[in-house]
């Protein structure tokens, strides 16, 4: 879809304006619509106020081909989306029997009694198509008014997504067919900074047209989104693949995955493929490295466990880091990181041991400045080593980025070796 379709998203709810919750719905819908080739021209957030709602809805009706409204369909008195839209769209509201039955059975199944105000959630516009809500009560609705298609959705993200995936996007596609499809792919990089990446690809980025090349930086890693438009999805895919190939030739060593991939998933697959087990000794990171690994299904096949060794005594007594190392080099040192990595692998009977020790901040420790991090790596049969990193940011950022660095170190080490 797309070339001529002007879309806007309206999020209704005073709590959004007060910053009590983030407007994640608009972000998600925009991202998905972009893949369908729909251009979003406006995002609005508006409180639960009848007069303001009617004036915004009236403006949207005049300027957009597609209006998606989230929120304000609930059972309470401040849920005013239906009433305000009814006035602007000149569509009376009635109680839909089938929706009412669904709501009643929802309460019966959960053994609860329904308060009368829940009847409000079964009220729909005359002439609207109902978009079924399989995970909640208020259904979505699609209404055509003159040249504009309106989609009304509940504000609960889980419900909104389920309705859009199941019926909303197909409905929009049927209403606005024959638009140029879009194909988008994300390349994920680790171990190269955003400025270095842009420097390596600067001629490609400045010559970009179709596909577009958009670098995006997040905590400790970088991504590039490639997006192409063409007369068919296959053609758009081919355009993306050609540019991807050029990028790969220059900086392919730093690409660890695509789209929704995470660095821990990529490392997990490598460990599995090479039949290696890992355990971690975590001082600075407090268990975050292992936590990220064990959230993945099947992690028990590669992860034996971890030791959170925050106190010096735990490093000495449980991990048996020699007292001499600690008294001579300190806990924030290469020697300590190496000893932690070797000993945790041996104690937890793993092929690989990884360790994290450092200064999260804000104060310095043992004369080492905040952001100093040592990551130790031991692979059975190889010489252990540790690397020092300086990480900027507050306590949380230092810890999160240290975990990312650990995965980066592992990824580059495992990738090159044939175990």
Once rounded to an integer, what is the mean pLDDT over residues 342-366? Answer: 94
CA distance 76 to 12: 14
Does pLDDT of 24 surpass 80? yes
CA distance 338 to 355: 7
CA distance 33 to 172: 9
Edge-to-edge strands of the sheet including 182-189?
A: 212-218, 221-229, 182-189, 255-258
| pLDDT tens digits, 191-231 | 898 899 999 999 998 888 889 888 888 777 899 999 888 88
| pLDDT tens digits, 138-165 | 889 999 999 999 999 999 999 999 999 9
Q: How far is CA 110 from the centre of its chain?
A: 31
Q: Which of 44, 159, 138, 147 shows the shortest CA–CA distance to 93?
A: 138
Q: Which of 216-230, 292-306, 377-391 has the lowest mean pLDDT?
A: 216-230
CA dihedral 40, 44, 48, 53 (to 10 degrees): -80
Q: Which of 61-65, 277-281, 365-369 has the lowest mean pLDDT?
A: 365-369
CA distance 161 to 172: 14
pLDDT of res. 138:
82
Q: pTM value?
A: 0.70
Domain ranges of the chain: 6-175, 182-258, 263-416
Does pLDDT of 2 surpass 50? no
Once rounded to an integer, what is the mean pLDDT over residues 314-319? Answer: 95
| 3 — pLDDT class (breaks 50, 70, 90) | low
Instruction: At 135, list the tokens.
Output: 């995970």
| Fold entry, domain 6-175 | Molybdenum Cofactor Biosythetic Enzyme; Chain A (3.40.980)
Q: Which of 117-121, 245-249, 362-366, 378-382 has the lowest mean pLDDT?
A: 117-121
| 178 — pLDDT class (breaks 50, 70, 90) | low
CA distance 254 to 189: 5
CA distance 64 to 149: 9
* Cβ proximity of 186 and 224 under 8 Å: yes
Q: Is the dihedral of CA 323, 325, 329, 330 positive or negative?
A: negative
In the block, residue with structure tokens 């990480």: 391
Average pLDDT, the chain: 91
| pLDDT tens digits, 40-73 | 999 999 998 999 999 999 999 999 999 999 998 8
pLDDT of res. 266:
96
CA dihedral 317, 322, 323, 329 (to 10 degrees): -130
Residue 305 φ/ψ, nearest 5 degrees: 150, -165
Instruction: At 16, list the tokens.
Output: 């959004």
| pLDDT tens digits, 222-265 | 999 998 888 888 898 999 999 999 999 999 999 999 998 999 99
**Percent of the chain whose predicted confidence (pLDDT) is above 70:** 99
Instruction: At 57, list the tokens.
Output: 């809805």
Instruction: At 277, list the tokens.
Output: 């087990």
pLDDT of res. 45:
94
| 337 — pLDDT class (breaks 50, 70, 90) | very high
pLDDT of res. 1:
42
Question: Is the CATH number 2.40.128.20 carried by domain 182-258?
Answer: no
| Fold entry, domain 263-416 | Maf protein (3.90.950)
pLDDT of res. 32:
87
């Amino acid at each position: 879809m797309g070339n001529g379709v002007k879309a806007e998203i309206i999020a209704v709810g005073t709590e959004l304006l007060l910053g009590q919750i983030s407007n994640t719905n608009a972000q998600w819908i925009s991202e998905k619509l972009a893949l369908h080739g729909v251009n979003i021209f406006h995002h609005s957030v508006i409180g639960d106020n009848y007069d303001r709602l009617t004036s915004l809805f009236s403006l949207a009706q005049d300027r957009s081909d597609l209006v998606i409204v989230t929120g304000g369909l609930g059972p309470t008195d401040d849920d005013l989306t239906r009433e305000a839209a009814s006035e602007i769209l000149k569509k009376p509201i009635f109680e839909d029997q089938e929706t009412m039955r669904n709501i009643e059975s929802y309460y019966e199944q959960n053994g609860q009694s329904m308060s009368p105000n829940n009847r409000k959630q079964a009220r729909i516009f005359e002439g609207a198509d109902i978009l079924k809500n399989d995970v909640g009560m208020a259904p979505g609705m699609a209404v055509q008014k003159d040249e504009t298609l309106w989609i009304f959705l509940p504000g609960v993200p889980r419900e909104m997504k389920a309705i859009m995936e199941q019926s909303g996007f197909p409905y929009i596609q049927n209403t606005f067919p024959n638009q140029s499809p879009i194909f988008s792919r994300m390349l994920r990089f680790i171990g190269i900074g955003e400025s270095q990446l842009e420097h390596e690809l600067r001629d490609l980025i400045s010559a970009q047209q179709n596909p577009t090349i958009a670098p995006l930086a997040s905590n400790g890693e970088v991504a590039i989104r490639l997006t192409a438009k063409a007369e068919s999805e296959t053609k758009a895919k081919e355009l993306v693949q050609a540019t991807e190939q050029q990028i790969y030739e220059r900086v392919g060593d730093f690409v660890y995955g695509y789209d929704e991939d995470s660095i821990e998933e990529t490392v997990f697959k490598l460990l599995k493929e090479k039949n290696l087990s890992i355990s971690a000794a975590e001082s600075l990171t407090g268990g975050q490295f292992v936590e990220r690994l064990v959230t993945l299904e099947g992690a028990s096949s590669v992860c034996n466990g971890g030791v959170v060794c925050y106190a010096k005594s735990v490093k000495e007594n449980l991990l048996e880091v020699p007292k001499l190392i600690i008294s001579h080099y300190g806990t924030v040192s290469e020697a300590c990181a190496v000893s932690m990595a070797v000993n945790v692998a041996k104690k937890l009977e793993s092929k690989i041991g990884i360790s994290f020790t450092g200064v999260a901040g804000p104060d310095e420790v043992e004369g080492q400045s905040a952001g100093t991090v040592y990551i130790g790596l031991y692979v059975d049969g190889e010489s252990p080593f540790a690397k020092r990193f300086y990480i900027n940011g507050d306590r949380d950022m230092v810890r999160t980025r240290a975990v990312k660095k650990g995965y980066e170190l592992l990824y580059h080490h495992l990738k090159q070796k044939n175990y």
